[in-house]
Structure 1
Amino acid sequence: MEFKRIISAGVLAMSLMACERPAPEVGIRDAITDIEQAISARDNAGVREHLTDDFQGGPGDAAGSLDKRGAQRMLAGYFLRYKNIGVVVTAITVEPLAHDPEQAWSEATVVLTGAEGLIPETGRAYSVRGLWQYRDGAWRLAQLGWE
């Protein structure tokens, strides 16, 4: 009888652990990797699925000027302009909000390149800062600013 209780408790504990959401740093890094791959693959929908419906973004001087539809249009323009797109995200830091464990800030350096052939014709490094929210079982980007 005692053995059955121990096994039941172990199964219950493992089930609860499987239902937990990933730690912010792990979940957000995974989402960043997915976004990076979607941009390289020219997959607009793959990027947008990681944005909240009320997403706001923009460069430092126009922060918040871009909504989710605007992000879609910006990506479409970039995808039309360049056949090959390179994305490298480095120096990622994630800082969960102390007062709300379902939100976190991230900072990173992003290098974007665009080319018609194999050699990039254009490229630029950006410092980006994003606010992530845990919604519908995934970390989604709610705000993004870059310089």
Structure 2
Amino acid sequence: MPTMKYLYRLSFIALLILTATGCHRAPDEVLIRQAIDQVAKATQQVDASAVVEPLTDDFDGNRGTTTRQDIGNLLRAAKFRGETLHAVLGPVDVQPRGERYVASFTVTLTSGGKLFPSQLGVYKVETAWRREGHDWRCYSATWTQQL
């Protein structure tokens, strides 16, 4: 049975082949993985606008406890304080659910500052995505701290 690392590499190679052959539209699963990767990179840059960009206006985080605006405000405060953040993604599993998708992964968050100490660690994350126009946007996410 192939490991998740093997499947992730295989997906990456498939993406490179599709790009090299001139494919004009990447598969939906790839677009969602790219969006998740871009959010992780934006988190490390403490870029609130880029982190919330793929979230819908009605985004529901952890069953009503966190909104799109809450996430943006937290990152803006971190940037103002000069915080550093690091986000390391585990393998991303994307599964279709009708016309929508669910993406599950782990993320390890670390920081060099004081704003986030109780919120750092390894999280199990499940995100739900829907198409809005030509873009895939995250409308719901749940996360639980693992360590």
1:57-79 Cα shifts (integer Å, max 9, x gaps) = 02xxxx22212112212323444
Who is 1:32 aligned against? 36
Who is 1:92 aligned against? 92
1:124 and 1:71 map into 2 onto residues whose CA distance is 17
1:67-92 Cα shifts (integer Å, max 9, x gaps) = 21122123234444562211001121
Kindly indicate whether the alpha-carbon contact (under 8 Å) linking 2:54 and 2:137 is maintained by their aligned counterparts in 1. Answer: yes
Who is 2:107 aligned against? 110
Which of the two has greater strand per residue? 1
Who is 1:145 aligned against? 142
2:112 and 2:48 map into 1 onto residues whose CA distance is 18
Who is 2:59 aligned against? 55
Alpha-carbon shift at residue 109 of structure 1 (Å): 0.3
1:107 and 1:79 map into 2 onto residues whose CA distance is 27
Kindly indicate whether the alpha-carbon contact (under 8 Å) linking 1:82 and 1:115 is maintained by their aligned counterparts in 2. Answer: no
1:92-128 Cα shifts (integer Å, max 9, x gaps) = 100011x32xx10010000000004xxxx78400000
Gaps of 5+ in 2: 1-22
2:57 and 2:86 map into 1 onto residues whose CA distance is 26
Who is 1:70 aligned against? 70
- Give the TM-score normalised by structure 2: 0.72
Who is 1:46 aligned against? 50
1:94 and 1:37 map into 2 onto residues whose CA distance is 19
- Taking a change above 3 Å as real, the CA distance of residues 107 and 84 of structure 1, as seen in their structure-2 partners, is same
The aligned length equals 120
Q: Secondary structure at the residue paired with 2:91?
A: strand
* Fraction of identical pairs, as percent: 27
Gaps of 5+ in 1: 1-16
RMSD over aligned Cα atoms = 2.3
1:144 and 1:130 map into 2 onto residues whose CA distance is 4
Who is 1:134 aligned against? 131
> Which structure has the larger Rg?
1
